[in-house]
């Protein structure tokens, strides 16, 4: 199992430790591989720095969360360019998934979910991913 997690799922996994996004992330970290790219990590860092999120992220757990995610992930040097999503900002997750030979993209984003499956990559919500994998 090789999985890409979109930014909102990772933010939810960080903010709500007992959430389905966190359980999905923990499951993949235990039994599969999390795929990460520089573009995905940059976006995650930018979102965690947004003013409306800062009240939750100004604590000593943010940097360790990012460090563990970065350390445990398989880093993918994205070389493919894809323009398939209604929201072009989400194409980075498709590119990561294709170049990283992902089996799944875990997202709550309707623009990505509408593409399921994409080049044989399953695109699922955290809830549906957990139902399929447990």
Quote the domain boundaries for residue 123: 2-133
pLDDT tens digit sequence for 32-79: 999 999 999 999 988 887 777 766 666 667 788 899 999 999 999 999
CATH at 102 = 3.40.50.1010
Q: Mark 44-64 as b/e (b = at least 16 C-beta within 10 Å).
A: beeebeeeebeeebeeeebee
- Structure confidence at residue 59 (pLDDT): 65
pTM: 0.93
Total number of domains constituting the chain: 1
């Amino acid at each position: 199992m090789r999985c890409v997690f979109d930014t909102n799922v990772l933010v939810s996994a960080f903010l709500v430790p007992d959430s389905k996004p966190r359980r999905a992330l923990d499951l993949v970290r235990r039994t599969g591989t999390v795929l990460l790219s520089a573009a995905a990590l940059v976006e995650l860092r930018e979102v965690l720095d947004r003013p409306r999120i800062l009240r939750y992220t100004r604590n000593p757990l943010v940097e360790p969360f990012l460090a563990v995610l970065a350390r445990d992930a398989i880093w993918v040097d994205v070389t493919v360019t894809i323009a398939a999503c209604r929201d072009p900002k989400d194409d980075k997750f498709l590119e990561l998934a294709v170049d990283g030979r992902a089996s799944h993209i875990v997202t709550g984003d309707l623009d990505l979910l509408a593409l399921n499956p994409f080049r044989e990559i399953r695109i699922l919500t955290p809830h549906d991913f957990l139902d399929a994998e447990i």
